[in-house]
Amino acid sequence: MPDVTQERRCNAHIRALLAGTSEGLIAIAPDRTVRVMNERAAEILEVDRQATVKREIDGDAFPGLVVAIETALHDRQAATWVMERGGLDYTCIVSPYADGDEHAAVITIRDDSEIMRIRRRQEAVLSSTGDGLLIFDTTGRITFMNPAAERMLGKGAESVVGRMDEPWSLFGLGPEGDLRDTGSQLREVRMEEPEHRIVDVRLDPVLDDTGSYMGAVMTIRDVTSEREATQMKNEFVSTVSHELRTPLTSIKGYIDLILDGEAGEINEIQHEFLSIVKENSDRLVELINDMLDISRIESGRIVLKVQPLDLAERIDGAVNTFRAVLDQQGRKINVELPDDLPKAAGDPDRIGQVLINFISNAIKYSPAGGDVDVRAFGVDEAVRVAITDHGIGIAPEDQARLFTKFYRVDSSLTREIGGTGLGLSICKSIIELLGGRVGVESEPDAGSTFWFELPLASAQLVRTPSLEGPLGTPGGRILVVDNSEDVANLIATYLSRRGYEVVKAFSAEEAWRSAIDFEPRVITLDVMLDEGAGFDLLQKLKADEKTRDIPVVVLSIICDEGKSHRMGATGYLEKPVDKTRLLGVIDDLVGSVASPVVLVVDDDKAIVELLSRTLKQRGYAVMAAYDGKEAMAAITQRKPHAILLDLRMPVMDGYEVLQALKTDEATADIPVVIMSAYHFDRERADVLSLAAEQICKPFDADEFVSRIESVLHDGVSQ
């Protein structure tokens, strides 16, 4: 016989637990009648507990609760009903369970008044923000939408909340991967409905303390006015720079010609006065360039040519810029570089710009003199370059703001030196766009060290060798296209004094006729011709078989280098045009058009330089590569008439290059001359048999070129 006393004692404990809990509890039998109800449930529902047991819940008094019970028992899963009674908010959770062959349920009634008050406050805050907000649960269901999001999307919350949507589909966009794996996502979206807007949309995952995914929050920020203001600013900067750079091109160019004695001799006083004009015109050009660089960086229009970078070469070039000035001051630049300095990933021209800025500052802000130290070394997965001066130093409160736009340390020296306060900001932006970092270490009156880091160059990053024309007297016809007669005359003067025949055109139509009639070797083109018609002309030149092979060098006032190259331009120079750079580009292009092109491939730079110089003296154009991958990159840009190839090279050796060339129909006809200081690999003799000739190192450069000239001429004739 069961122990009745023990069973009663157990039931008494259960009754005490039910009566003492702060939550209402109701047990529902399979026939929907109340099996058990505790005192707290009766109190909340305001019913007689004894009278309710063994009866169904009153559907007239509690219709929502009855629906929740039916839903839970029918669907075999929990259902929720929220009710308000006596100014309090209650959540009723109906949880089904198996009762023999049928299903019963337990109802838990919880006072969520405080939680609901917090939620209402949070929703009030979210509703009052100017940014649009949407909240998604773990299944992608939208659970909240604030009024700002309703206005931006042109949809009411009642039509959106509760929907199952991939978040980006609200903007007609596809997904960008699972948030749980990819993390935060940010996209700029242009909307035309319900009205024109530009919005920044940010989607962030919501994680709990354990890192489990709980849903996502989407923030929509209207940036229309900011983007339009930025566009207006960029247009203003471009317009102003255009109006300034056009006359500056003439001023700077003709002053340089006078100082170079091209207009006859000038006396000492005239030279002094003109030198002052030149110095200040150069400062004005630098100011405009700084403004344009900032504009390009902020608008994302800066063009970076990232390649494996030999920082030792960049540093040497930048240091040489200042040696003459420092020699006059009795100062010097000490350079400390390890022999095994790894290559970094960077843009050669832009890194040169950063180095010159840092070194120039180190010289200018050391009024008492003292040397400048330049060091480079590997650090973690990067290469660091540090420039140290022994000057006035920088206070800690100023260091934090040094790299911001227009900020300059307030001191008598900085006021005397002048400047825009843009240089360091530009340097920081360039380095960060290349994936690096910048910084400064300094103490007042104890000098400063400015440094930057660049990531190491990956094996996939390959330098594309440039093409250099032969040495000697240039010649040939050049078509100069510019809507400014003064600028066209200036460029024509540069070129004609170099030995070129020049034809000038001042409109797109005139330029097209001249290109057809005169068949120039190179065209210089101002793309701002006839309000931008220069790009149309460039496209037309590259589309016509009579003119498509004529190299076009774009001379531009605005930043359009990327667009120029995409449309087929061979070179790009900004105005005011630097005479030396212009003539160098033209010489190389004319030489490459009129002369055979030889690709020299060797990891020994001394040999490459020796052979390149000798070949150029003999009238050949040259491309110089330092490993096999660079050689293959050069060939994709310009097919050479012949190749001089070393066998022992890093990254991709000569055997691999030779095999790749001879198994490709497009390059199989290029004669290859093998040069090596080692015994040829007999196991790869079948590959070597593909070469036109094999020559052992060491060799005399002139004799070497003479021996292979017959091979090169055979290659040209093919």
Task: Tell me the DSSP string of 48-69.
Answer: -HHHHTTSB--TTT-HHHHHHH
Both 710 and 603 in one domain: the answer is yes
| pLDDT recorded at residue 242 | 65
Residue 672 lies in a domain: yes
Instruction: Check the CA dihedral 414-416-421-422 and report its sign.
Output: negative
DSSP string covering 91-148 = EEEEEEEEETTEEEEEEEEEE-HHHHHHHHHHHHHHHHSSSEEEEE-TTSBEEEE-HH
Q: How confident is the model at residue 682 (pLDDT cuts 50, 70, 90)?
A: low
Q: What's the rounded Cα separation, in Å, for the pair 499 and 473?
A: 7
Query: Which residue is listed with tokens 């050009």?
Result: 285
pLDDT tens digits for 164-190? 777 888 887 878 777 777 678 888 888
More confident residue, 66 or 283: 66
Q: Which of 253, 275, 299 is the last residue of a domain?
A: 299
The overall pTM is greater than 0.75? no
Query: Per the structure, how many domains does the chain have?
Result: 6
Q: Hey, is 378 helix, strand or coil?
A: strand
CATH code assigned at 484: 3.40.50.2300
Task: Report the relative pairing of strands 477-481 and 522-526 from DSSP bridges.
Answer: parallel
Residue 291 lies in a domain: yes
pLDDT tens digits for 445-482? 788 899 999 999 888 888 888 888 887 767 889 999 99
Both 585 and 603 in one domain: the answer is no
Task: Report the relative pairing of strands 132-136 and 142-145 from DSSP bridges.
Answer: antiparallel
pLDDT tens digits for 188-222? 888 888 888 889 999 888 888 888 888 888 899 98
| pLDDT recorded at residue 692 | 58
Both 449 and 313 in one domain: the answer is yes
Q: How confident is the model at residue 568 (pLDDT cuts 50, 70, 90)?
A: confident
Question: What's the chain's average pLDDT?
Answer: 83
Q: Are 98 and 106 in contact (CB under 8 A)?
A: no
Both 552 and 603 in one domain: the answer is no
Q: Which of 424, 455, 486 is the last residue of a domain?
A: 455
> pLDDT at residue 126 above 80?
no
| pLDDT recorded at residue 499 | 87
Residue 621 lies in a domain: yes
Both 184 and 239 in one domain: the answer is no
Q: Hey, is 73 helix, strand or coil?
A: helix
Q: Which of 47, 79, 111 is the last residue of a domain?
A: 111
Q: What's the rounded Cα separation, in Å, for the pair 368 and 363?
A: 10
Both 589 and 673 in one domain: the answer is no
Both 587 and 607 in one domain: the answer is no
| pLDDT recorded at residue 43 | 87
Tell me the percentage of the chain whose pLDDT exceeds 70.
87
Phi and psi angles of residue 197, each rounded to the nearest 5 degrees, phi first: -145, 150
Q: Which of 131, 35, 46, 118 is nearest to 83 (CA)?
A: 46
CATH code assigned at 153: 3.30.450.20
Residue 116 lies in a domain: no
pLDDT tens digits for 287-298? 877 877 777 777
Q: For the residues 135-154, what does the mean pLDDT come to?
A: 86
Q: What's the rounded Cα separation, in Å, for the pair 272 and 491?
A: 25
Q: What's the rounded Cα separation, in Å, for the pair 167 and 132?
A: 13
DSSP state of 532: T
> pLDDT at residue 10 above 70?
no
More confident residue, 130 or 357: 357
DSSP state of 456: B
pLDDT tens digits for 357-415? 999 888 887 766 678 899 999 988 899 999 998 888 888 877 778 888 776 655 444 44
Q: Which residues contact 347 (CB under 8 A, 6 or more apart)?
A: 304, 305, 306, 307, 309, 430, 434
More confident residue, 289 or 497: 497
Element (H, E) at 451: strand 448-455
Residue 314 lies in a domain: yes
Residue 651 lies in a domain: yes
> pLDDT at residue 5 above 80?
no
| pLDDT recorded at residue 412 | 46
pLDDT tens digits for 97-109? 998 888 999 999 9
| pLDDT recorded at residue 684 | 60
| pLDDT recorded at residue 407 | 63
> pLDDT at residue 1 above 70?
no
The CB density around residue 262, as the number of other CB atoms within 10 Å, is 12
| pLDDT recorded at residue 94 | 92
Cα angle 139, 142, 146 (rounded to 5 degrees) comes to 155
CATH code assigned at 366: 3.30.565.10
What angle in degrees, to the nearest 10, is found between the helix axes of 268-299 and 224-259?
160
- Give the domain extent around 144: 129-222
Phi and psi angles of residue 562, each rounded to the nearest 5 degrees, phi first: -60, -45
| pLDDT recorded at residue 420 | 63
DSSP string covering 151-177 = HHHT--HHHHTT-B--GGGGGT----S
| pLDDT recorded at residue 339 | 87
Both 530 and 659 in one domain: the answer is no
Tell me the percentage of the chain whose pLDDT exceeds 90.
19
User: How many angstroms from the chain centroid is the CA of residue 613?
Assistant: 37
Joined tokens for residue 87 = 């100014």
| pLDDT recorded at residue 437 | 93
Q: What's the rounded Cα separation, in Å, for the pair 622 and 467?
A: 6
Both 270 and 329 in one domain: the answer is no
> pLDDT at residue 603 above 70?
yes
Q: What's the rounded Cα separation, in Å, for the pair 112 and 338?
A: 69
Q: What's the rounded Cα separation, in Å, for the pair 360 and 369?
A: 13
Both 44 and 24 in one domain: the answer is yes
pLDDT tens digits for 225-277? 887 777 777 677 666 766 777 788 888 888 888 888 878 888 889 888 988 88
Residue 119 lies in a domain: no
Both 218 and 133 in one domain: the answer is yes
| pLDDT recorded at residue 680 | 59
Both 17 and 85 in one domain: the answer is yes
pLDDT tens digits for 569-599? 888 888 888 888 888 888 888 887 778 889 9
Residue 117 lies in a domain: no
